[in-house]
Amino acid sequence: MAAKDSAFPLRRGSDASENDFFDIPDESWMAMTKRQLRHIRTWVILFALLVYFLWPKSIPLPPQPNPHIHYDEVDWTRYAYTTYATSETDLCNSLMVYANLQRFESKAERLLFYPDEWDLIVDDENDRISELLILAKDRYNVQMSPIKVESIKRPSERFADATWDTSSAKFNAFGVIQYDRVIHLDTDITLLMHMDELFFLPPTVVAMPRAYWTLPNSHALSSQIVVIEPSYKEFLGLQETTRFATHGQLDVWNGTDRLDTTILNYRYGDSALVLPHKEYGLLTSEFRRKEHHKFLGPEKDWIPDKVMAESKFVQFSDDPLPKPWVMWPQGMLAQIQPTCDNKPGTSEESGCRDRELWKELYDHFRRQRKEVCRLLSYPAPV
């Protein structure tokens, strides 16, 4: 029993007192309250952190283009994309533009200018132009606009055997006053997304990108895309300027540009709203360069996939290589295609992403051309 009592000293027979066991030190009620509050605050903080880290997070939506524009409330009959065609080749290229606009779900209307001697009556199986016009109208909801196309020579070529310039047909886009704004596109391009946001630019007669490849020697505008506020006054003014220029009464020719580019720079070079060329002016030839400071500006790094992702379209321009609807002369591809960054021309070459994207652009254009234009054959090289 003695051993048992020694194991439990507080039992009866121990020298210790039960009162000592229940003895609580003196502490004010204020101190006790503060101590308890500290414990409660610690648990509240831990609980809040637990809720923060375990609560399911909502995935933020990607930013919408021009969120201030209520696209669903826009009257899209007031806006249109336009192109012109003066040959079967141009017509097929225009269909490709409209096919892509439809694929990208552009909401604006589509309008095609074409020579008034063309019609929508298929005379026989060889009447490809009428077939393509009907295809544009029925499949891609293109509005038809026959025009009088004038073939114009530069003054220095007036009496020479030279190619006639029909690019003044573009100026008809200034005369479609049923629209508040139109976007006129050249057709030697591949669209990468629609450009409906350009219909809501600040008020301006014309918006165009810079021909960045001419910098810094020239600040000329490029006519590959022209955003226009239609005006009959401007339309008549362009007709008059064109007439004076082609009769040698106005010195506007620079010896290199097409008629439309020359006239548009003459009239709007100092007043046009300038579009960012990184989005609205990329050329395929940029992938062949090793110096990109004219395109990039203050940006330092050339990342070809990033450039493609930011561009709305790419224009085919790799002179002397023909446009993609003309088959390349044998051997020219090897001379013109972009070179690789590391050990070019050897079996160990690498860093060829520029070349890959460049070839993909040409291959995609050709495949789509066959699909959209019903296996339209390529014109033979000239």
Q: Taking the domains of the chain in order of start, what are their residue ranges?
A: 71-372
User: Hey, what are 371's tokens?
Assistant: 């699909």
What is the share, in percent, of the chain residues with pLDDT greater than 90?
A: 60
The pair of structure tokens assigned to 40 is 């409660």
d(CA 133, CA 95): 9
Pairwise pLDDT comparison (3 vs 104), residue with the higher score: 104
pLDDT in the model for residue 346 = 82
pLDDT reported for residue 306: 95
Dihedrals phi, psi of 115, to nearest 5 degrees: -60, 140
Return the pLDDT at 235.
96
Instruction: Report whether pLDDT(3) > 50.
Output: no
Q: Which two tokens stand for residue 140?
A: 């891609």
Worst-scoring range by mean pLDDT, 17-21, 199-203, 227-231, 378-382?
A: 378-382
pLDDT per residue over 68-92, tens digit each?
Answer: 677 788 999 999 999 999 999 999 9
Q: How confident is the model at residue 108 (pLDDT cuts 50, 70, 90)?
A: very high
CB-facing half-sphere around the CA of 207: CA atoms within 13 A: 20
For residues 204 and 229, the answer to whether their CB atoms sit within 8 Å is: yes
Q: What is the mean pLDDT of the chain?
A: 83
Helix axes 232-246, 259-268, angle to 10 degrees: 120
**Four-residue CA torsion sign, 347, 349, 350, 353:** negative
Which has the higher per-residue pLDDT, 60 or 281?
281
Give yes or no for a contact between 142 and 111, defined as CB atoms under 8 angstroms apart: yes
Is residue 9 scored above 90 in pLDDT? no
Q: How many CB atoms are located within 10 Å of the residue 241 CB?
A: 19
Whether 5 contacts 13, CB under 8 Å: yes
Asked if residue 324 has a cis previous peptide bond (ω within 30° of 0), the answer is no
At 374 the pLDDT is 74
Rounded to an integer, the average pLDDT of 281-302 is 94
Distance CA 314, CA 188 (A): 9
Mean pLDDT of the region 103-112: 96
- Average pLDDT (168-187) is 96
Q: What was the pLDDT predicted at 252?
A: 62
Window from 52-56, 205-209, 215-219, 227-231 with minimum mean pLDDT: 52-56
Q: Which CATH class is domain 71-372?
A: alpha beta
**pLDDT band (50, 70, 90) for residue 296:** very high
From the list 367, 342, 366, the residue with the least C-alpha distance to 355 is 342
Q: How far is CA 14 from the centre of its chain?
A: 94
Q: Report the pLDDT value the prediction gives residue 61, as an integer from 0 to 100.
A: 41
Give one word for 258, left, alpha or beta, with left for phi > 0 and alpha for psi -120 to 50: beta
pTM, two decimals, is 0.78
3-state secondary structure of 114: strand
**CA–CA distances in Å: residue 319 to residues 147, 221, 293, 296, 376:** 30, 19, 20, 22, 24
**What's the confidence (pLDDT) of residue 38?**
66
> Per-residue pLDDT tens for 131-169?
999 999 999 999 999 999 876 665 555 434 444 478 889
In terms of Cβ atoms closer than 10 Å to its own Cβ (0-12, 13-18, 19+), residue 39 is: exposed
Alpha carbon 309 to its chain's center: 8
pLDDT score recorded for residue 334? 85
Question: Where is pLDDT greater, at 328 or 211?
Answer: 211
Q: What are phi and psi of 145, to 5 degrees?
A: -135, 90
